[in-house]
Amino acid sequence: MTISSSALTTESSSIMDPKASILCLPNEILSKIFENLPSKDRENVGILSDRLDDIEKRTGCRDFSTICFSTIDKPEIVARDVNANKFRKWPSEEGLANFFRRSTCRSLVIDGPLTVEHEQCIRSAFKSVDYKELLVDFKGDYSGRILIDLLRSRSDIEQLHIGGSRWMLEKEVEETRRVLMIIPTTRRLAVAASEGKILTDSILAHLVSVSHYTDLGGVKETDVTVEGLETAFEMVSAASHYKEVSCTVPASAVHQFLDRRQFSVVFRTNLQHIATGTKFNYRLDRDNQDYLYVSIQSDKSPVPL
C-alpha cells in the first residue's frame, strides 16, 4: 500500500502539535493535569480551546495564599495564589463554586457588611476551600450566620480573628455572644475592636477551653466577674499544654481575685502564682480606668505557631 506524502505530512503535524495531542486526552486526565499545573500554566493551556477552558474552570484545586471577600467598595473576591498572581471574581459570576472547588488557602478574609445574597455567594464559593486562618469582620445581621457556617465541621483552623463594630446595638451584642459560645477548637483566637459587652463568665470559659492563645483585649468593656476570672485562671493552670489568655476585666474583680490568692512579685504588676507557677499580669486600661487589662500564662513551654 502506498501512502501519499500529503497524508504523511498531516499525520506528522498532528503528532507534533501539542494542542492536538492534549485534546486527544479524556476529560478526567486533563482535569488531573490541571490540578498539578501552576496557575499561569493552567491559564495558558486553558486558552487553547473552549473545551480546555471549560475543564480548567471546573477543575478547581487551586493553591492560594489569601482569598478576600470584600464589600467595602463593591462586592468582589480578590484572591492571590502562591506565586502572587491576582484573580478578581464578582460574587454574581457563575462558576464560583467550581473555581474555588477543593482549593487550599492560608488566609480567608471576609470584610465589610453582608447581605443575604453575599451569604449565599460565600457558601457557594468557599464551602470546599481548605483554609488555615479565618478573619471575619463582624458587621450586620448575616456575619454571625456566615461565621458559623464557615466553621461548621472544621477542627483544624490555626487562627480565628473576629473584628467587631465599635458601637453595637443590643441585638448585635446578643448575636455576637451566641456565636462566641459555639466557636470550635482553634490554635489562636483574637476578638478585636468591640465596645459592646460581649464577654461574660461563660463565654470567657468557653473561649479559653477551645484555644491555646486567646486574645480578647479588643473587647473594651466586659461583664466578667471575679468568679469568671478565677475559672479562666484555673483552666490555664490545669491545662496539659501551654495556654495564654488576655482580656479586659473590671478593676474591682481583679482586686478581689488578687486578694484570694498568693502571688510572688516578679516585677511591679508581673506576678507569679506561688502554688502553680502560673503568670498573672495586669495594667490599667488607658481608655477606661474602671477596667484592667489582664494576661494569664501557664508555666508550660509555649508551642511555636
Concatenating the DSSP letter of every residue in the chain gives -PPPHHHHHHHHHHHH-HHHHHHTS-HHHHHHHHHTS-HHHHHHHHTT-HHHHHHHHHH---EEEEEEEE-SSS-EEEEEETT--EEEE-TT-TTHHHHSTT-EEEEEEEES---HHHHHHHHHHHTT-EEEEEEEE--SSSHHHHHHHHHTT----SEEEEE--SS--HHHHHHHHHHHTT---EEEEEEESB-S----HHHHHHHHHHEEEEEETTB-S----HHHHHHHHHHHHH-SS--EEEEEEEHHHHHHHHHTS-EEEEETTEEEETTT--EEEEEE-TT-TTEEEEEEE-SSPPPP-
Each residue of 135-183: pLDDT tens digit?
A: 998 776 677 788 888 887 677 789 999 887 666 777 778 888 888 898 8
Q: And the C-alpha cell for 246?
A: 488576655
Write down the pLDDT at residue 37.
84
CA neighbours closer than 13 Å in the CB half-sphere of residue 175? 18
In a domain, 37, yes or no: yes
Beta-bridge mates of residue 131? 105
- pLDDT at residue 255 is higher than 60: yes
- pLDDT at residue 34 is higher than 90: no
In a domain, 53, yes or no: yes
Q: Categorise residue 291: left if φ over 0, alpha if ψ from -120 to 50, beta otherwise.
A: beta
In a domain, 27, yes or no: yes
Where is average pLDDT lowest: 12-16, 127-131, 155-159, 184-188?
12-16
Estimate the crossing angle of helix 226-238 against helix 251-259, to 10 degrees: 60
CA distances from 201 to 196, 204, 231, 298 (A): 15, 5, 8, 19
Beta-bridge mates of residue 29? none
In a domain, 10, yes or no: no
Write down the pLDDT at residue 193.
63
Write down the pLDDT at residue 166.
63
In a domain, 98, yes or no: no
Question: In this structure, are residues 21 and 30 in contact, taking their beta carbons and an 8 Å threshold?
Answer: no
Q: Region 21-31: what's the mean pLDDT? A: 85
Where is average pLDDT lowest: 200-214, 220-234, 284-298?
284-298
End-to-end CA distance of the chain, in Å? 72
Choose between 245 and 90: higher pLDDT. 245
- pLDDT at residue 12 is higher than 60: no
In a domain, 36, yes or no: yes
- pLDDT at residue 96 is higher than 70: yes
116 band by pLDDT with thresholds 50, 70 and 90: confident
Q: Region 277-283: what's the mean pLDDT? A: 96
242 band by pLDDT with thresholds 50, 70 and 90: very high
Neighbours of 124 (CB within 10 A): 15
Q: Region 88-101: what's the mean pLDDT? A: 85
Q: Region 1-20: what's the mean pLDDT? A: 47
Q: How far is CA 134 from the centre of its chain?
A: 1
7 band by pLDDT with thresholds 50, 70 and 90: very low
In a domain, 28, yes or no: yes
The whole domain housing 48 covers: 22-59
Mean residue pLDDT of the chain comes to 85
* pTM attached to this predicted model: 0.80
Q: Region 243-262: what's the mean pLDDT? A: 94
Write down the pLDDT at residue 140.
60
Write down the pLDDT at residue 132.
92
Beta-bridge mates of residue 247? 216, 294
In a domain, 31, yes or no: yes
Each residue of 180-226: pLDDT tens digit?
A: 898 888 899 998 866 678 899 999 999 999 999 999 988 888 999 99
- pLDDT at residue 245 is higher than 90: yes
For 259, residues 6+ apart whose C-beta sits below 8 A from its C-beta are none
**How many domains does the chain divide into?**
1
266 band by pLDDT with thresholds 50, 70 and 90: very high
Write down the pLDDT at residue 10.
41
